[in-house]
Structure 1
Amino acid sequence: MTLDYWNKAHICGLLSVRFGLTSYLEINTSTTGFRYAEARQLGFQPCMRLVYRTTELPLDGLPVDFSSADDDIAACLKDARLKGQTFDLVFVDPHHTYECSARDIKEAFRMVSPGGAVVVHDCLPPHRAAANPSFFDGEWCGVTYKAYIDFVLGNPDLDYFTVDADYGCGIILKPIGIGAKIKNWLRARRVRELKGEWQAIGDDFDAAFDKLVTDKTRLLRLVDFSLLRRKLS
């Protein structure tokens, strides 16, 4: 079985079993995600999704708990069923502009429970064309990778890694209390140099992609699915 077979839903399933994650929220659009049915089959309770840019109903025919016709998800976040709610696992497959990606990752982290995980899709575009910051029909990963790296390097007390499968699945683990922050202090010191190199790129998306290509293992803390499966079994 090749690594290409393993997708974002398999990764969520591994995390749920290894860390006892039982509740799930998915943030996606009408043209991203596409694995919600598999998440429901994993038995998460509750298992909810927020879909924005809803130009059409999801093809899976499954319920949508929160929806927005455009990029604005403020009303969804204020919904009484979601406001103040936390989840053990939040999966993010955003509209892949920088603005939407950065917002969705930030909101996902806010809603994930301590000890839980955020999974971010499309963190490793396969080529430069796929990393175009503007939407196009086809194999579009956009600049979600940059929003993801900006977030994790901007919060050095967090633990994170990225699975080299299904266009790159970033895993952000939320610490449990001050003990975890102290534990991660040395890790934070080690990423300062890398953070400086990355921040010097600024908003130059071409330069960001060049840096990703030449330094993806260090930036993303890249692991393959086989290694992840062994570590989490």
Structure 2
Amino acid sequence: MTLEYWNKAHICGLLSIRFGLTSYLEITTSTTGYRYAEASQMDFQPCMRLVYRATESPPDGLPVDFTSADDDISACLDDARLKGRTFGIVFVDPHHTYECSARDIQEAFRLVSPGGAVVVHDCLPPNRATANPSHVPGEWCGVTYKAYIDFVLGNPNLDYFTVDADYGCGVILKPAGIAAKIKNWLRARRVRALKDEWRAVGNDFDAAFDKFMADKTRLLRLADFGLLRRKLL
């Protein structure tokens, strides 16, 4: 398969192979995701999904484990089948407002196992029009990129990188063991200046996008997909 056809599901698959991650949860909406059928073929046990803003049945015809008709996912998170469970990979393709994106990333990190990975879609919007903070018809990445950067720079003891494929797939690695935590804490000391620069944009989405476009390689720790694929396989 040529690189241009690799997508968010393939990136989850590569991570599962490289790090031995065997369970999967997907958090999406009726208008995001669309790759669960591929994930379900990757032998994850369990392989589950939570769909909110669920206005219609998924086109793949596969079951939905947790569902909400609106933005509120609290009942899904309180479901006995999900409460207290963790997963090797939690994939997030949220409704791309800031509020939904920030909440979904936070909840995904809570649900991922130590040593596991949160994968966040749409972290590399190609232009300002696609990065509109409010929903627009058609191609829309919203401000998920900002919620993602806010989260990783706000928790600087985490390791993360962003794959430059399929509108940008952010990968947040949850530390496992004291050695990993110390390593990440030492790394965090080197990114304080970047955190301060990003914090200065505040909640101004226009200023945030300007800063993002000027410095996205550093902010995202952008990784070339071809090179990353060779390292992970």
TM-score normalised by structure 1 residue count:
0.98
Query: What is residue 81 of structure 1 aligned with on the other side?
Result: 81
| Alignment: residue pair count | 233
Structure 1, residues 148-171: CA drift from partner, whole Å, max 9, x if none? 000000111100000000000000
Q: Which amino acid aligns with 1:232?
A: L
Q: Which amino acid aligns with 2:220?
A: L
Gaps spanning 5+ residues in structure 1: where? Answer: none
Matches of 1:177 and 1:186 in 2, distance apart?
15
Structure 1, residues 36-81: CA drift from partner, whole Å, max 9, x if none? 0000011101000000000111111100000000000000000000
Q: Secondary structure at the match of 1:184?
A: helix
Q: Secondary structure at the match of 1:117?
A: strand
Matches of 1:185 and 1:30 in 2, distance apart?
38
1:170 matched to 2:177? The reply is no
Matches of 1:66 and 1:137 in 2, distance apart?
26
Query: What is residue 135 of structure 2 aligned with on the other side?
Result: 135
Query: What is residue 108 of structure 1 aligned with on the other side?
Result: 108
Matches of 1:70 and 1:37 in 2, distance apart?
23
Q: Which amino acid aligns with 1:40?
A: S
Query: What is residue 207 of structure 1 aligned with on the other side?
Result: 207
The Cα of 1:23 is off from its aligned counterpart by 0.2
Q: Which amino acid aligns with 2:84?
A: G
TM-score normalised by structure 2 residue count:
0.98
Gaps spanning 5+ residues in structure 2: where? Answer: none
Q: Secondary structure at the match of 1:191?
A: helix
Query: What is residue 230 of structure 2 aligned with on the other side?
Result: 230
Q: Which amino acid aligns with 1:159?
A: D
Q: Which amino acid aligns with 1:42?
A: M
Q: Which amino acid aligns with 2:72?
A: D
Percent of aligned pairs sharing the same letter: 84
The Cα of 1:136 is off from its aligned counterpart by 1.5
Determine if contact 1:6/1:225 at 8 Å carries over to the other structure.
no
CA RMSD of aligned residues (A): 0.8
Q: Secondary structure at the match of 1:33?
A: coil
Q: Secondary structure at the match of 1:219?
A: helix
The Cα of 1:186 is off from its aligned counterpart by 2.2
